[in-house]
Amino acid sequence: MSRVRSVIRPDVLAMSAYHVADASGLIKLDVMENPYRLPEALAKDIAALVAGVAINRYPIPSAERLRALIRQTMQVPAGCDVVLGNGSDDCIQYLTAAVAREGAVVMAPSPSFVMFQMQANFFRLPFVGVPLREDFSIDVDAFLQAIAQHQPALVWIAFPNNPTGNAFALDDIEKIVRAAPGLVVIDEAYQPFAGASFMSRLNEFDQLVVMRTLSKVGLAGLRLGYLAGRSEWIAEFNKTRPPFNLNVLTEAVAIRLLENKSVLDDMAARVLTERERIAPLLRGLTGLTVYPSAANFILVRVNGAPGRGTRVFNAMKADGVLVKDFSGGHPSLQNCLRLTIGAPDENNAMIRALKHALE
């Protein structure tokens, strides 16, 4: 239809929609979900709770109780507040909207989470990706130089990083935070598996905001993310946030789950134990480079000519295991596969399929 072509932005016309692979019948280790369902008693309790929620009413945008619980359970420091998102993807969008002055530069290490750049593009902001070193550590001198040159309004640092899985050195991040002339958001989506966090340091740096999500600790389908920072920042993001972005069911369920946070901590701990069991097994396979991980996934590179990674991915899929193939994306991820840590039997099947595919 020619009207579509004349109305929709050319860059949008040229894009493809976000693709999620069909995982039917496969062991799903592609998108960093937590493999565990809630304990049955808690699931039943939630079913009863949901039955009582007034879905005929709009959510109350301030979501006071949920925000208070997040501040308390996630140790958000005094003087700081949180603003909620329909997943942290939503936070990335409305935070970018809030800084989107004409020409404001958005910067992030590269490769990193694709949404940082996509949202910059949607708001027509120049995006500068600063290449990571070959071992996926931050090239801090190059980053500081890029900051000096481009004076970014917004810097995103995923800590740990997706898709590489490593946590950048705290010192390097600190240097970037100190040098940045604008806002720095530390995206701690994988914090439950990392141990380190910038949350307790929010008052130390005026320019710092921390973003988190509950997606990786068993609640990906619920869609709840948040930004934590000095109240002055949070008040502004609250203006570009769609007022009813958090639906009443998510709000009610999240409150009940955060009142039982040990259940979430427990699911994350089980995944962490599995990561530590799986990493040495992967290192024992020949033909593979295994990158260090502080997240709930491990990035590996299949040694060999371009195309071998995709062949291994396809062979694993034929063996019933779906992982994520990065060949054809960012050039430094040629032949790389991202393996989400699942439950023990899923991980065993994944290792078997990978070993088989590498033979």
40 burial class (0-12, 13-18, 19+ CB within 10 angstroms)? exposed
* 162 forms part of the interface with ligand PMP (CB under 6 A): yes
- Round to whole Å and give the CA distance between 205 and 182: 11
* 33 forms part of the interface with ligand PMP (CB under 6 A): no
The dihedral of CA 167, 96, 258, 27: what is its sign?
negative
Shortest reach from residue 33's CB to ligand PMP, in Å: 9
* 225 forms part of the interface with ligand PMP (CB under 6 A): yes
Here's the x/- map for ligand PMP, 129-158, by CB under 6 A: it reads as -----------------------------x
The smaller minimum CB distance to ligand PMP, of residues 27 and 32, is found at 32
* Residue of 328, 356, 354 lying closest to 339 (CA atoms): 354
- Round to whole Å and give the CA distance between 117 and 308: 28
The smaller minimum CB distance to ligand PMP, of residues 32 and 322, is found at 32
Which member of 213, 238, 245, 327 binds ligand PMP (CB under 6 A)?
A: 213
> Quick one: CA torsion of 240, 242, 247, 250, rounded to 10 degrees?
-30
* Residue of 74, 73, 111, 112 lying closest to 92 (CA atoms): 112
- Maximal C-alpha separation, the chain: 58
Shortest reach from residue 109's CB to ligand PMP, in Å: 11
* 89 forms part of the interface with ligand PMP (CB under 6 A): yes
254's enclosing H/E stretch is: helix 248-259
* 113 forms part of the interface with ligand PMP (CB under 6 A): yes
Shortest reach from residue 293's CB to ligand PMP, in Å: 13
Which member of 35, 59, 87, 165 binds ligand PMP (CB under 6 A)?
A: 87
Instruction: List residues binding ligand PMP (CB under 6 A).
Output: 32, 87-89, 113, 158, 162, 187, 189, 213, 215, 220, 225
